[in-house]
A and B are shown apart, each in its own frame.
Chain A
Amino acid sequence: MADPIPAETDPVRAAEAERFYSGAMERVRRLMVALCLLLSAAAWWRFGPRAAGGFVFGCVIAFVNFHWLKRAIGGFADRASGAETRQSGQGIVAQFLLRYVLMALGAYAILTVSPASLNGLLAGLFLPVAAIACEAFYEVYAALARGV
Chain B
Amino acid sequence: MGKLSKLFIALSALCFAAPAFAQGGGGSEVNWVAIAAGFSMAFASGICGLAQGKATASAAESLARNPAARPGIQLALILGLALIESLALYTLVIIFVKVK
Contacts and interface: CB of A to CB of B under 8 A. Distances in A.
Interface stretch (A2-10, A38-46, A49-57, A72-80): A72-80
B82 A132 contact: yes
Interface string B47-80: 0000000001001100110010011111101110
Interface residues of B, number: 23
Interface of B: 56, 59-60, 63-64, 67, 70-75, 77-79, 81-83, 86, 89, 92-93, 96
Q: How large is the interface on A (under 10, 10 to 19, 20 to 34, 35 or more residues)?
A: 20 to 34
Interface of A: 21-22, 24-25, 28, 66, 69-70, 73-74, 76-77, 80-83, 118, 122, 125-126, 128-129, 132
A81 B63 contact: yes
B83 A77 contact: no
Given A82-B67, A122-B93, 6 more contacts: A25-B78, A80-B64, A118-B96, A122-B92, A125-B89, A126-B89
